Amino acid sequence: MLQTFRGTHDHLPDVAVRYDYIIKVAQHWAGLYGYNLVSTPIFEYADVFSRTLGDTSDIVTKEMFVFEDRHGDKLVLRPEGTAGLMRCLLSNGLMHQLPQKYFYAGPMFRYERPQKGRTRQFHQIGVEFMGEASPLSDGEAITLAWDVLGALGLKNKVALHINSLGDTESRQAYRGLLVEYFSDFKSELSPDSQERLLKNPLRILDSKDPKDQALVAKAPSLEGSLNNLSKDFFARVLESLDLLKIPYSINPRLVRGLDYYCHTAFEFVTDTLGAQSAVLAGGRYDRLALMMGHKEPIPSIGWAAGIERLELMLDQPVLGARPLSLIPIGEAAERKVLGLAHDLRLSNISVVMAPSGNLKSRMKYANKVNAQAVLILGEDELQKGTAVLKELDNGNQQEIPLSQIKDALKRLS
RNA sequence: GCGGGUGUAGCUCAGUUGGUUAGAGCACCAGUUUGUGGCACUGGGGGUCGUGGGUUCGAUUCCCAUCACUCGCCCCA
């Protein structure tokens, strides 16, 4: 009863401030690229996800929190952001005003076994660039990701892996070749990969099983199946990265799990989070709109990053604003201090009151809330119309007239 | 969903080869300082030994189940 549900957590202030910091940094940079903040409901009709993510994807088959409302409508807590945003675009008729660039942040839900960096309610920041087919938009989206990671001080902890899945024609051709190849060795594949052969053959490529990898080494390459259009598209994405000197490595085994991806697939990976290597990942999803019933494709590119994972990687502590601690002594001072505190707050100064306890414990409290200074107002000071201002970092203290407090505080910061 | 590890105070952990009142450090509270924090000293409060059941004269300790966390697999951010 007093325990949170498996895989969900409270975010106490020291953690919450770090989440908030990550979101603010990402939103700031997304703004510089013209992405606008949007938010969509955290639950949707189940079809929004089950029809678009792929009937055989793990997310749909075993990881969605599905429930029915009182009318028997099937609903699902969103397991990812992209499908909901595409639904949002179509619902609001915004396909007539393309392109659209969106930034979002919020909780996602997957019914998984929790691990470090993996929770059942987790949080993502993400961007979607919808209605733009140029490979320049892929390059730009990846550059934004690189800038966000850089602003968070994580560049030296991540590596960019990138690959191309090709357009639909290339991808389907390759899938055929791959199934043909692996079918000959079916009994030699790991049980997991035998399953993949049926559901998602591309996934066999990044199997961790050594025997699978031996077979993969001789398998036909994805690159070999790319048609000229796909090859050219990929080359132009890479060119963007080269021009901006963003380091990457082409990973021919990088594939995406969800059905709607094509062309560019990329991941920023880390080795600092145990089994969870992907920190930020995304790709192009030109066909998603079609899968949602729209009559033509809406070429789009996007990515999402796990806030939990980013937070675990942050080195430096995130500090909040340092308040002024107000300490009134005696009832008359308490009355006086109410107005003073309000006045200071109206001047954009953070003020924390410590109205009870002995002076010593109130000083300690000021320390605990990381106050920059305390303002002590007792009987003597009240009569003189002054207060004692003490800086906590160096212990300096002086008695100043109440009328000069704002100026004195401004001099401190 | 599969396999391994862990679960003792708010936190980090000792401990009990089954036996009276379960310990430490940090944190918290109070005092040394009747209006001055961070340091030091002294004292104090705080524990269903994850939960439920079983074995036993007796279980925090052994057994089973369950929950949570954790490591790996699957998958993914």
Distance A128 CA to B34 C1' (A): 65
CA of A157: how far to CAs of A6, A39, A248, A323, in Å? 29, 30, 13, 34
Q: Mark whether A307 and A282 lie in a shared domain.
A: yes
Taking only the tens place, the pLDDT of each residue in A313-362 is: 987 777 778 899 999 988 899 999 999 999 999 999 999 988 777 888 88
Residue A208 domain flag: no
Confidence of residue A190 (pLDDT cuts 50, 70, 90): confident
CB distance A267 to A88 below 8 Å: no
pLDDT, position A354: 80
User: Cβ of A304 < 7 Å from strand B?
Assistant: yes
Q: Comparing A183 with A281, which gets the higher pLDDT?
A: A281
Mean pLDDT for all residues in chain A:
90
User: Cβ of A1 < 7 Å from strand B?
Assistant: no
**CA A183-A187-A192 angle, 5° bins:** 90
Q: Mark whether A391 and A246 lie in a shared domain.
A: no
User: Cβ of A388 < 7 Å from strand B?
Assistant: yes
Residue A392 domain flag: yes
Q: How many domains does chain A have?
A: 2
Measure the CA–CA gap between A320 and A12, rounded to whole angstroms: 14
Q: Mark whether A25 and A117 lie in a shared domain.
A: yes
Q: Mark whether A23 and A50 lie in a shared domain.
A: yes
Taking only the tens place, the pLDDT of each residue in A65-114 is: 988 999 999 999 999 999 999 999 999 999 999 999 999 999 999 998 88
Q: Mark whether A127 and A32 lie in a shared domain.
A: yes
Q: Mark whether A271 and A403 lie in a shared domain.
A: no
Q: Which nucleotides of B are covered by protein (CB under 7 A)?
A: 1-3, 28-31, 33-38, 67-77
Taking only the tens place, the pLDDT of each residue in A259-268 is: 788 999 999 9
User: Cβ of A7 < 7 Å from strand B?
Assistant: yes
Q: How many helices (H) and strands (E) does chain A have?
A: 16, 16
Residue type, A152: L
User: Cβ of A299 < 7 Å from strand B?
Assistant: no
Q: Mark whether A345 and A262 lie in a shared domain.
A: no
Residue A214 domain flag: no
Distance A3 CA to B52 C1' (A): 16
Residue A222 domain flag: no
Distance A369 CA to B40 C1' (A): 23
Residues 126-145 of A near strand B (Cβ < 7 Å)? none
Q: Of A313, A336, A357, which residue constitutes the final position of a domain? A: A313
Return all residues near A190 (Cβ < 8 A) that are at least 6 apart: A207, A209, A211, A212
pLDDT at A288 over 80: yes
User: Cβ of A58 < 7 Å from strand B?
Assistant: yes
Q: Of A288, A313, A338, which residue constitutes the final position of a domain? A: A313
Q: Which of A287, A277, A263 is CA-nearest to residue A162?
A: A263
Q: Provide the CATH number for the domain around residue A375.
A: 3.40.50.800
Q: Provide the CATH number for the domain around residue A128.
A: 3.30.930.10
User: Cβ of A227 < 7 Å from strand B?
Assistant: no
Confidence of residue A1 (pLDDT cuts 50, 70, 90): low
Task: Identify nearest nucleotide to residue A126 by CA to C1′ distance.
Answer: B77
Residue A271 domain flag: yes
User: Cβ of A393 < 7 Å from strand B?
Assistant: yes
Taking only the tens place, the pLDDT of each residue in A24-71 is: 999 999 999 999 999 999 999 999 998 877 666 776 667 889 889 999
Q: Mark whether A333 and A283 lie in a shared domain.
A: no
pLDDT, position A305: 97
Q: Mark whether A86 and A157 lie in a shared domain.
A: yes
DSSP state of A389: E
% of chain A with per-residue pLDDT over 70: 98
Measure the CA–CA gap between A143 and A239, rounded to whole angstroms: 12
| Domain enclosing residue A279, as ranges | 13-167+227-313
Detail the DSSP E strand segments found in A131-223: 159-164
CA of A135: how far to CAs of A41, A138, A229, in Å? 30, 5, 11
- Complex-level ipTM: 0.87
User: Cβ of A63 < 7 Å from strand B?
Assistant: yes
Residue A107 domain flag: yes
Helix (H) or strand (E) holding A303: strand A300-306
Q: Mark whether A289 and A387 lie in a shared domain.
A: no
Q: Comparing A59 with A15, which gets the higher pLDDT?
A: A15
Task: Tell me the torsion sign for CA atoms A234, A237, A239, A241.
Answer: negative
Measure the CA–CA gap between A197 and A179, rounded to whole angstroms: 7
Residue A202 domain flag: no
Task: Identify nearest nucleotide to residue A363 by CA to C1′ distance.
Answer: B37
User: Cβ of A150 < 7 Å from strand B?
Assistant: no
Distance A167 CA to B37 C1' (A): 66
Residue A396 domain flag: yes
Q: What do you get for the CA distance between the two ends of chain A, in Å? A: 46
Q: Of A313, A348, A367, which residue constitutes the final position of a domain? A: A313
Q: Mark whether A234 and A366 lie in a shared domain.
A: no
User: Cβ of A380 < 7 Å from strand B?
Assistant: yes
Q: Mark whether A27 and A139 lie in a shared domain.
A: yes
User: Cβ of A122 < 7 Å from strand B?
Assistant: yes
Task: Identify nearest nucleotide to residue A367 by CA to C1′ distance.
Answer: B37
